[in-house]
Amino acid sequence: MSPWRDGLRRLRRYPSALLGALIIVALLATAVYAVVTIPYSEAQRLWRGGDLWQELPVNAGPVWADRLFGGDAPRTLRIPTAAAPIAEEAYEGVRITEQRLTFDFTYSEFPSEINLFLGSSGSDRQPFVRATWITPQGEQIPLDARRIGANERISISQNQTLEGRLGAPPQIGLFSATSAGAGTDQQALEVQQGTYQLLLETVHFAETSELHGELIVYGQVHGWAGTDHQRRDLSVALLWGTPIALAFGLIAAVGTTVTTLIIAAAGVWFRGWVDAVIQRLTEINIILPLLPILVMIGTLYSTSIWLMLGVVVVLGIFSAGIKMYRAMLLPIREAPYITAAQAYGASDLRIILRYMVPRILPVLIPTFVTLIPTYVFLEASLAVLGLGDPILPTWGKILYDAQDQSALYHGFYYWVLSPAALLMLTGLGFALLGFALDRVFNPRLRSL
């Protein structure tokens, strides 16, 4: 039976290997899902951020975490003007419309923010809008009155005068059961559940003029991953971080182990000055610290993840592995079957690739598998050091942003925990499989 098939059969007896393989398969599936649903360019565009995230709350936690701890944090409510009926009255030269944006607020906690997005179209004469808040009890609170251009954002929760009138930030004051006077303890305020209305009274100065937009009452939770300080949905970065992490780890591991092995084999085979050069290069390279070099390149040149990958691979080629493989290959070089191959005319390249390298592949596989997460962690470390890729979402970048925004100090645990959990899961999966592979293949090598 083939030693490979035999090895796989024996691997099945290790539950840890199965668990590891399961984790890796799940990660791979996630990576494939991410790449298929969000194309590379789309992922970059999304992560660049800006207005496209404006309907999401800032620093919202994941929904499941809130439910897990029995919370009833509000989700984001979006009430478009298009859904509200329009009552219209015509006067001389002007039209007055009245719209009520109606919604039920049933959560026991206050929303995080209220924004009103309005825009006018159909005429270059801008309509005049007066917005009034109507509580479930029917209390009317005037919010704002202004002309509306093509695209306006009315930040109700940033309205200082309104905050002064309410005695609390508008997103709290507008939803509290009791109106707060000055000096009221905001923690004591309670949410008034019920049906709220936003009354929009618009004066149009042209027949064709129209008003459109929506009211967004931002929640405190969003999706399964939450959002960051730029309202970006973290699920994008968590999803897309998977293929990037796996690709980085895999390419770096393949790039270093395979080339290292082949170079070691070439040195052992050719001996003489080839071997001497390879050994000296390795000895010099071993004492060069990788991280400072990467920091230097990132600071002075570019922090592109693919450049970093290239540098990691190049510096990883002449690594300590060369010494290890050399020690393993030296006796193999003298094996009679190599002499036989030489005698029937096999070329140097053929001897190295077909006769020497395959002999130690069984020991290479576990090393290779356990090496993948180290490179994943390296990428994360670089990102945390501020040398992450500037345009791509990665797990390390999330951690960097979280640290930058003092996420733990502010209590945004999800921001740190979810990328960290994914990193740990990756490490765990490859380690479980790698250690089991090591147990299966290494004794085999000793017996060969």
Partner 1 sequence: MRRTTSVSETPGSEKPGSERSIGERPGNPSAGVATATRGTVATGGVEATGTGAVTTGGAATPTAPTYQQPHQPLLTVEALQTHFELRQWGFLRVGSVRAVDGVSFTLDHGESATIVGESGCGKSSLARTLLGLHRPTAGRVTFAGTDLATLRGRALKAYRAAVGYVQQDPYGALPPFMKIRRILEEPLIVHGVGTRRAREERIAAALEEVGLEPAHETWQKFPHQLSGGQQQRVVIARALLLRPKLIIADEPVSMLDASVRAEILELLRTIQRQHRLALLYITHDLSTVRHYAHRAMVMYAGRIVEQGPVERLLDRPHHPYTRALLAALVDPDAANAHQQRPIPAGEPPSLLHPPSGCRFHPRCPAIMVGRCEHFDPEEAHPRPGHRVACWLHSR
Kindly state the helix (H) or strand (E) to which residue 177 belongs, with its residue range: none
Residue 343 binds partner 1 (CB under 8 A) = yes
Report helix, strand or coil for 207: coil
d(CA 45, CA 260): 37
Q: How far is the CB of 330 from partner 1 (least distance, A)?
A: 11
* Pairing status of strand 140-147 against strand 194-204: unpaired
Are 263 and 317 contacting, i.e. CB atoms less than 8 angstroms apart?
Answer: yes
Residues 3-22: x where in contact with partner 1 by CB under 8 A, - otherwise, as a string: x-------------------
d(CA 189, CA 180): 8
Altogether, the residues listed in the chain come to a count of 448
Residues 137-166: x where in contact with partner 1 by CB under 8 A, - otherwise, as a string: ------------------------------
Residue 359 binds partner 1 (CB under 8 A) = yes
Are 262 and 376 contacting, i.e. CB atoms less than 8 angstroms apart?
Answer: no
Residue pointed to by tokens 């919202």: 60
- Show contacts with partner 1 in window 273-332 (CB under 8 A): 276
Q: Which is nearer to partner 1, 269 or 414 (CB)?
A: 269
Q: Which is nearer to partner 1, 183 or 336 (CB)?
A: 336
How many residues in the shown chain lie near partner 1 by CB under 8 A?
24
Are 248 and 288 contacting, i.e. CB atoms less than 8 angstroms apart?
Answer: no
Q: Which is nearer to partner 1, 105 or 368 (CB)?
A: 368
Reading phi first (left if > 0) and then psi (alpha if -120 to 50, else beta), residue 87 is in: beta
Residue 443 binds partner 1 (CB under 8 A) = no
Q: How far is the CB of 233 from partner 1 (least distance, A)?
A: 50
Among 151, 186, 347, 406, binds partner 1 (CB under 8 A): 347
d(CA 367, CA 257): 8
d(CA 178, CA 182): 12
- Show contacts with partner 1 in window 79-118 (CB under 8 A): none
410 bridge partner residues? none
Q: How far is the CB of 276 from partner 1 (least distance, A)?
A: 7
Contact footprint for partner 1 (CB under 8 A): 2-3, 271-272, 276, 334-337, 339-347, 350, 354-355, 358-359, 448
